[in-house]
Every structure is written in structure tokens, then in C-alpha cells.
Amino acid sequence: MLEGKSILVTGGTGSFGNAFVPMTLAKYNPKRIVIYSRDEMKQWEMAKKFQNDPRVRFFIGDVRDKERLYRALDGVEFVVHAAATKIVPTAEYNPFECVKTNINGAMNLIDACIDRKIRRVVALSTDKASSPVNLYGATKLASDKLFVSGNAYAGGHDTRFAVVRYGNVMGSRGSVIPFFLSIRDKGELPITDERMTRFMISLEQGVELVWHAFSDMEGGEIYVKKIPSMKVSDLARAVAPEARQKIVGIRPGEKLHEQMIGEEDAHYTFEYPEHFKILPAINNWYETSERIKDGVRVPEGFSYTSDNNKDWMSVEALQAWISANRDKIGAI
């Protein structure tokens, strides 16, 4: 699918881009991967890792700037949309800025991709977009809806859009694992609620889900990877077994448990060995065999939440993952 192709990654200097680029270069040997982002320092740091690889290009730009997107998309065939304002408290205190990037930026990209005749676009989403309680989740829900409906908006154009939905990305910069590692020597870790659970996904799994979406999509699908859950208190025990856990209470915009698929989406959701697909309700696309393929519709009332998950990550499994990935944790 991506062999010899030109790919652009918005927000490509983030955790996802730093995993996607080397993995995709190694597996598919694309013609080029364009990193589109607005942070020149992050681009400079990332460029040093690929300075001898002519397939990797860098393009300063913001998804809020439609004209710049048009220029960056010249000759591109595939797009991964990873750009977002995603820190929950930041979004709560800077709501206009979050909307400009996560919603207006999505609209700009959809328009530009259709006009530039991009073949396939996969947008990254989050469990916080399912029944959102914070502004970040609400903007990502709106973004998801825009990318799904973009397939109808494209009209007679061949551009197709899909979404992949993630949980907590293990070890990514600013996430809970590097935070706990940075303060564990103090002997105390803050826990919002001892009942709190989260989905756990590695960056490598996230990249592989994007690859799968590119190869499988007909347009409008939301792909949800089957991944384990973990109690945040167990996560803390894995990082610092001897540390005391201090209960600090749920912060504004937080849920006790995260949700990937809500009951309202069950009618449109199909199950596969390693993932679920939420198919688009518009135009009765959820009934089309080319989108369903070999999927099995989930039962009415089905939901996929971090507390009703069948798969759980043990303390020992997380400790083994931390040991194997210590050099990467918090670095990107």
C-alpha cells in the first residue's frame, strides 16, 4: 500500500511521528515522508536522526493555515493527521486555541486533501472522543465526525478518510509513565482515584493500526484496537512498588474510566480478531459489505470501556515493558 508512495504526517514531530517514520521507512520504503509541523526546534532535533535519509523531508506549517497545507500536499498520496492540541488542562484553559487546531484544522485538511486529490487520509483520535466530558474530547469527537462525513463531502473525488482511536499511549512524552518515573524517588505518587482505569497501547501498536486502516479502509470507518486495561494504582505499583500512593481526587475534565465505543455506536460496530470498526451511519454505509468484510456485528447495548475490558495488563507485564523500553520513555 505505501511502497514507493509519498506520505505527509501532520504534527509529525510528536510521539506518533517519531515512531511512524522509522517503522514505515523500514517496512514499506516509501518515496518520501513529509513531516508537517509548526515547531522548528522539534523539526531540527528530529532531522538529526534522519539527516542521511533523502526520503525524509520537513515542512514548517500549521493545520490552521489552509494555504500552507495546499503547498505541503503537492505530490502527496497518503496523509496521517496527528496534529492536535491534546493536553486536557491546556484545552480547558485555552478553549479557543484548541478549537482552532482540532476542529478548524481538521476542516482545513479535509478541504485541502480533496482539492489536492490525496488518495487516503487517516486521522488519529482518542478514547476521550467517545462520550466526551472535556473540551479536548469534544473537539476530537467533532474532528472524528468531520473526517467520517468528509467521504460524502468529497463527492465524486476519490479521496477517502478514516479514523483510528487510541487509548493511553505508553511512555509518550507528557503521559503518566514518564511522570511517575520522574518523581518516584520522592517516595510518593499522586493517584487521582484508586478505582481509575485506562486503556494501554504502545506506539508500535498505534502505527500498525494506521497501516491496517490504510490497507482496509473504504471510507468513514473508525478503527478501535483491542488493547488491555490497567488500574492507575497498579500502574503506579509497577513504576514504584515501594512508593506510597496519595489519593488526590479526579481533576476537572477527567473520567473515572475511559470509553472507546459507547452503547449508542453498538448498532454500527463490527468485531474482528484484533480490533473493532465503527462504521458510518450516514448513507447506510454501515450496511455495505465492502466495509463490513468478515466482521461480526456486536450485540445491542455493547460498549468498550476501560473497566469492562476482557484484557488486563499485569504489574509484571508493565514492568517488563518499561525495562525493554526505558531509553524511549518520555523522550518523544
Q: State the Cα–Cα distance between residues 12 and 9, nearest whole angstrom.
A: 5
Q: What is the torsion angle, in degrees rounded to the nearest 10, for the CA atoms of residue 148, residue 151, residue 154 and residue 155? A: -130
d(CA 154, CA 141): 20
Alpha carbons 173 and 106: distance in angstroms, whole number: 23
Q: How many Cα atoms within 13 Å fall on the side-chain side of residue 301?
A: 0
Q: Are strands 6-10 and 78-81 parallel, antiparallel or unpaired?
A: parallel
Pick the catalytic residue from 86, 128, 226, 255: 128
Residue 127 burial (CB < 10 Å; 0-12/13-18/19+)? buried
Q: For residue 328, indicate whether it is catalytic.
A: no
Catalytic residues: 128
